[in-house]
Every structure is written in C-alpha cells, then in structure tokens.
C-alpha cells in the first residue's frame, strides 16, 4: 500500500421495523447494524417481538437517532414523491439516519417497506429487501378526484372543484436499476 487511498469501510446496515420483526435470520453482521429509538418504540414491550429486539441488541445492534436536519430532508423528499402518508415517524427516522451515516460510509437500509425503498432510491441510498424481491419500478403518486376525475400532482384530500374525495394513484412507473 504505497499511497494514502481511503480504505473502503464495511457497510452499515440500518434495520427498519419490518426487518426486526421479520423473524428471519439476518445474514448480515449484526455488530454493524443500527436502528433508531423510534423503531424500538414501535415494538411492544413484553411480547415475542420485543424479545427478538432485545436479542438483537445483545448481539450488537445499536440504536442511534438521526439529526433534525436529515429528518427535514426526508420529509421534503417523501412529500415530493407522495410517500409521506405511508411513512411512520420510525420509517422517517430510519431514512434520516441513513442520510446521516451515508456521508462517510456505505449505508444499506434493510426493509420490506416499498415507501422506504422508494425514498431511498430517490436519495441514492442503498436498500436490501428482507423477504420481498424489492421494487423494480419507481412509483410516482398522484391524486385523482373520485367525482370529476381531475388529477392533482400534490396531495389534495378534497377536490377544490367539486368537493369529492380524492384517491391516490400511481401515475408513472419507471424502471430502476437496483443500486
Ligand atoms: Zn372533483
């Protein structure tokens, strides 16, 4: 090693609630896995899921919280993509933590949640599904009035023209390469 090339650090894995509760054996190095306190709060104390969570913590899973700045960025990106309504606070924390950690090491979110995958893709963060094959299309959401049929590109729950309720629809699916 003649010169000072930055050595590639091993990836950090960020587990969302679905990853922790999957009950599947995780084939990753759990000592390099992190989650957020919001995720831990989604797991009811006392049950089997909580025992799984405690077990993972004993094995080396650590809990970190994201910066407020990254949470704001995730809110913005997910609002633009139309995913915001399907993301829990814990989901947003997972994405924000990935954004924080992604700055100086490779970060991979382990999740089966399509909205987390979609926002990850938009932000250039890698993800790996646990049990699903992962999204192969990128969704763009619009809202269509159930009365007059007008399409809105931003979230509108009641049509300003006819007053009927709107429904969220997928308008564009573009193929994406797995990062
Ligand atoms: Zn309408």
Residues 122 and 155 in one domain: no
Residue 55 lies in a domain: yes
Q: How many domains does the chain have?
A: 2
Pair 124, 153 in one domain: no
Could you tell me if 124 and 141 lie in one domain?
A: no
Distance in Å, CA 145 to ligand 1 centroid: 5
Question: Domain range holding 148?
Answer: 137-175
Q: How far is the CA of 23 from the centre of ligand 1 (A)?
A: 44
pLDDT value for 178: 44
Classified as helix, coil or strand, 101 is helix
Q: Are residues 111 and 145 in the same domain?
A: no
- Residues 67 and 21 both lie in one domain: yes
Q: Is 5 contained in some domain?
A: no
Tell me: do 116 and 154 sit in the same domain.
no
CA–CA distance, 154 with 80 (Å, rounded to integer) = 8
Q: Which of 57, 47, 53 is nearest to 21 (CA)?
A: 53
The per-residue pLDDT for range 44-73, each reduced to its tens digit, is 887 778 888 888 888 899 999 999 999 999
Q: In this predicted model, what pLDDT tens digit does every residue of 91-130 receive, in sequence order?
A: 999 999 999 998 888 899 999 888 999 999 999 999 988 7
DSSP summary character for residue 22: T
> Is residue 38 domain-shared with residue 101, that is, in the same domain?
yes
State in Å: Cα 169 to ligand 1 middle: 15
Distance of CA 9 to the CA centre of its chain: 22
What spacing in Å lies between the alpha carbon of 170 and ligand 1's midpoint?
A: 18
Residues 79 and 123 in one domain: yes
Which CATH number covers residue 150?
2.20.28
Among the listed residues 34, 121, 109, the one whose alpha carbon sits nearest the alpha carbon of residue 77? 121
Distance CA 21, CA 54 (A): 12
- CATH code of the domain containing 67: 3.40.50.1010
Ligand 1 center to residue 146 CA distance, Å? 7
More reliable by pLDDT, 23 or 150: 150
pTM for this predicted structure: 0.73
Is residue 1 situated within a structural domain? no
């Amino acid at each position: 090693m003649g010169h000072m090339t930055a050595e590639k650090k091993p990836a950090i894995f960020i587990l969302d609630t679905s990853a922790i509760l999957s009950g599947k054996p995780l084939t990753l190095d759990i000592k390099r896995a992190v989650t957020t306190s919001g995720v831990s709060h989604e797991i009811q104390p006392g049950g089997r899921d909580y025992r799984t969570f405690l077990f993972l913590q004993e094995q080396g899973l650590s809990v970190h919280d994201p910066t407020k700045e990254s949470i704001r960025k995730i809110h913005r990106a997910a609002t633009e993509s139309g995913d915001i309504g399907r993301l829990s606070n814990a989901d947003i924390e997972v994405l924000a933590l990935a954004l924080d950690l992604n700055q100086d090491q490779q970060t991979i979110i382990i999740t089966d949640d399509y909205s987390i995958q979609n926002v990850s893709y938009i932000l250039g963060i890698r993800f790996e599904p646990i049990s699903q094959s992962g999204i192969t299309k990128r969704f763009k959401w619009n809202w269509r009035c159930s009365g007059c049929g007008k399409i809105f590109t931003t979230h509108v729950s009641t049509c300003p023209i006819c007053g009927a309720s709107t429904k969220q629809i997928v308008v564009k699916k573009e193929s994406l390469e797995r990062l």
